[in-house]
Amino acid sequence: MLKREEKFAQVIIPSPLKEPLTYAIPPLMQGDLKIGMRVSVPLGQRRVTGVVMGFLTETSLNQVREILALLDERPILDHSLLQLIRWVSQYYLAPLGEVLTTLLPASLRTENQRVIYSCPGEFPQARGLERKILDELQEKGGKSTLKSLARRIQGGGLYRALNRLLAMGAVEAKERTKGQRKKIAELIGKRESLPQERALFSLTAEQQQSLDLIQQRLSKGGFETFLLYGVTGSGKTEVYLRTMEQVQKAHKRSLILLPEISLTPQLLDRVEERFPGRVGVLHSALTPSERWAQWWHILSGNVDVVVGARSAIFAPVPDLGLIVVDEEHDPSYKQDDGLRYHARDLAVVRGKLVGCPVILGSATPAIESFENCRQGRYRLIELTERVEQRALPSVELVDLRQVQKEKFKIQNSKFITLFSPPLIEALQQNFVRGYQSLIFLNRRGFANFLQCRLCGFVLRCVHCSVAMTFHLKQQSVFCHHCGARKPARDLCPECGNLSLSGIGFGTEQVEQELRGLIPGARIARMDRDTTSKRGSQERLIRQWEKGEIDILVGTQMITKGHDVTGVTLVGAILADLSLNLPDFRAVERTFQLLSQVAGRAGRGKEAGRVIIQTYAPDHYAFPNIITHDYKAFFASEIEFRRDLNYPPFSRLAHLRLEGPRAQEVEAKARMVGEELRARRQREPKFQEQIEILGPAPSPIEKLRSRYRWQILLKGKKSRPLLELASQAREILPGSRSTRLYIDVDPYNML
């Protein structure tokens, strides 16, 4: 609450300013203004919307402008969210205003109109100022914008009076952005959900134990992070749902994050079935006005459960009692442009700030998370068996080197490149028996790139330093990084011969071959090309769930948590793709992808079978994938991380310089590198703690016509690391042409 002597407000506005700005509070507003409310403030010649972060009794500034208007009756950001904003800004070295921009739906950041409506009925208890407001409304035909009310009712106390009227049901307040007249109820709409089988089963002993452990923490109160490590199909979701029911009973609310909601409509169905009419949803596929409506709906406390993707970690949930992060290992929780935050890590931070338990769930936990259990920071809960004693699928490897040798021996054999004989046989059998199969390849398109067979020329993107991928259906080549498109021709632009041909393959080619191999099967493909239209992805998944597709080919999209009982066969066309990425997490990622896609098989009465094709069957990741032994995998992977001093044994900050002129970017990168090294020399704490790698050209040297160089800082502790990283910003001040991006705890260093 504002004290009498606090005459100034600190306001964050959506801008790249690092610190909040100070404004004077007009005396009339004094009684109404609270931390976390939006205000309209002057900035230069403009009027902008900001959020009040704090109050000051004095300021050393000699010119302070006044707040123009108060835009809310109640705070829209509570204390813990404001603390989270500060934390994010400090940890990810991002300006407060940028954090705010990421967090608030766009329409909340522009000047909105609050409209106050009077409600039918007599309200004799409304006196004084309250009565005056009701009279004003009456005069205006029952409604008025907040702005004009404020103009007509002077003397302060307006907002407090409005709050009392809201509480007694005498008025209603609605937010209206420009051109937005739809009601919240309309915008929230109704999803079409498949009826779910009622969960009539009793919990397994392991599920019950997990629930009890979390329940103990809930009733004691306070923060604790649980890592729910449960094999695929062990019933983790059921544990989340029952915990969320407990939270609801205690009149608190839950927030559950999913990697990509559109990929798991089934999970949303399950939540909606358990909490009918009490679920809020936040994800990137919402239109701006839907997003805005959901946000108000959640803020007003109208839902008990919020389901959302990455950015929902900032949802304004009142009385938050639980945060769940499903598939916590999923890389999509890390945002890798704009504000580069990790939603799983923020879940833990938010849980701590709020003082509530956090559940991170996965069948293949991130190495960092499992290590946190070993260090005693998280509490490990295990579900070691699938529900109803279902077996985990059997996993076999096919050595593609061997397959190729055989093929060379047999002259005139039918030319099949992508499917090995065991996989073909298994697919045919599975189809005949009426079961569903999944075929996984983490690369889309038809041919990986086009190359001239006579001169060796490779068709590249003019904007990016990568080859363009050939897509058969569109008869075009595409850059998978910037989206550039060109019609595909056979003519080599270099030597002029009709000699360009496709090298390598992607899901489109896999699908085409499959049609030839299994005639009569209903085959569909799910990747970014087939799901770009709004709703198309959900349609595909629904068909898959209903058994209307026999074989589904797809990228990592198909590996995520679907629970479809008809799936008994999973094939991975080329496991080596992710294994060979230039990234220290490549092996972990491969283990996760293959274990997750394998986990889609055998969820019904019938056992599942998984066939993985690879040129590297001796790789150390495979034995543990075959035996579903995460812990053994962890044990070997953690040693590799320790030897090379990678996270979780160190922290990384990735600095990237980008600009339109190659030479300038390189020169600036060298300058920043030298200066950072010099500072490291000077400061003992940097010298002991921090390693500087680079500068070097980024693996993708040119992207969207911008040249890229990088410097990697590796440190034992985050504090000195962040300090040195933020000094890079001082070293390269406001350069227009070459920009510096800092990514703390990076996932994508290409």
Binding residues for Zn ion, per CB under 5 A?
461, 463-464, 479, 481-482, 484
Partner in contact with 207, chosen from Zn ion, ligand ADP, none, beta carbon below 5 to 8 Å by kind: ligand ADP
Partner in contact with 482, chosen from Zn ion, ligand ADP, none, beta carbon below 5 to 8 Å by kind: Zn ion
199 vs 638, which CB is nearer to ligand ADP? 199
Closest distance to Zn ion from the beta carbon of 421 (Å): 38
Q: Would you tell me which residues interact with ligand ADP (CB under 6 A)? A: 199, 201, 203-204, 207, 230, 232-238, 387-388, 563
Closest distance to ligand ADP from the beta carbon of 8 (Å): 51
Partner in contact with 690, chosen from Zn ion, ligand ADP, none, beta carbon below 5 to 8 Å by kind: none
480 vs 600, which CB is nearer to ligand ADP? 600
Partner in contact with 484, chosen from Zn ion, ligand ADP, none, beta carbon below 5 to 8 Å by kind: Zn ion
Closest distance to Zn ion from the beta carbon of 488 (Å): 15
d(CA 309, CA 139): 45
Closest distance to ligand ADP from the beta carbon of 686 (Å): 44
Closest distance to ligand ADP from the beta carbon of 326 (Å): 7
Closest distance to ligand ADP from the beta carbon of 551 (Å): 22
Beta bridge partners of 230: 383
Partner in contact with 531, chosen from ligand ADP, Zn ion, none, beta carbon below 5 to 8 Å by kind: none
Q: Helix (H, G, I), strand (E, B), or coil: what is residue 153? A: coil
Other Cβ atoms less than 10 A from the Cβ of 85: the count is 22
Residue keyed to tokens 């979390």 = 214
563 vs 723, which CB is nearer to ligand ADP? 563
82 vs 467, which CB is nearer to Zn ion? 467
DSSP state of 225: E
Rg (CA), the chain: 29
Closest distance to ligand ADP from the beta carbon of 194 (Å): 12
d(CA 549, CA 516): 16
Angle between helices 205-220 and 236-249 (to 10 degrees): 30
What are the helix (H) ranges across 599-717? 622-626, 630-643, 662-682, 684-689
Other Cβ atoms less than 10 A from the Cβ of 333: the count is 24
> 320 and 255 in contact (C-beta within 8 Å)?
yes
Distances (CA, A) of 320 to 80, 253, 301, 357: 10, 5, 10, 10
Phi, psi of 64 (to 5 degrees): -125, 130
73 vs 238, which CB is nearer to ligand ADP? 238
Partner in contact with 529, chosen from Zn ion, ligand ADP, none, beta carbon below 5 to 8 Å by kind: none
Partner in contact with 230, chosen from ligand ADP, Zn ion, none, beta carbon below 5 to 8 Å by kind: ligand ADP
Partner in contact with 577, chosen from Zn ion, ligand ADP, none, beta carbon below 5 to 8 Å by kind: none
> 223 and 351 in contact (C-beta within 8 Å)?
yes
Closest distance to ligand ADP from the beta carbon of 363 (Å): 7
Closest distance to Zn ion from the beta carbon of 485 (Å): 10
Partner in contact with 464, chosen from ligand ADP, Zn ion, none, beta carbon below 5 to 8 Å by kind: Zn ion
Instruction: Supply 423's token pair.
Output: 């996989």
195 vs 376, which CB is nearer to ligand ADP? 195
34 vs 463, which CB is nearer to Zn ion? 463
Residue 462's Cβ-count burial label (10 Å; 0-12, 13-18, 19+) is exposed
Which residues lie closer than 8 Å to 455 by C-beta, 6 or more apart?
A: 492, 494, 495, 497, 499
247 vs 447, which CB is nearer to Zn ion? 447
Beta bridge partners of 471: 476
Partner in contact with 563, chosen from ligand ADP, Zn ion, none, beta carbon below 5 to 8 Å by kind: ligand ADP
105 vs 233, which CB is nearer to ligand ADP? 233
238 vs 260, which CB is nearer to ligand ADP? 238
Which residues lie closer than 8 Å to 615 by C-beta, 6 or more apart?
A: 399, 400, 401, 574, 576
140 vs 463, which CB is nearer to Zn ion? 463
> 708 and 656 in contact (C-beta within 8 Å)?
yes
Residues in the chain: 750
Partner in contact with 461, chosen from ligand ADP, Zn ion, none, beta carbon below 5 to 8 Å by kind: Zn ion
Closest distance to Zn ion from the beta carbon of 482 (Å): 3
Which residues lie closer than 8 Å to 201 by C-beta, 6 or more apart?
A: 387
Closest distance to Zn ion from the beta carbon of 481 (Å): 5
> 695 and 711 in contact (C-beta within 8 Å)?
yes
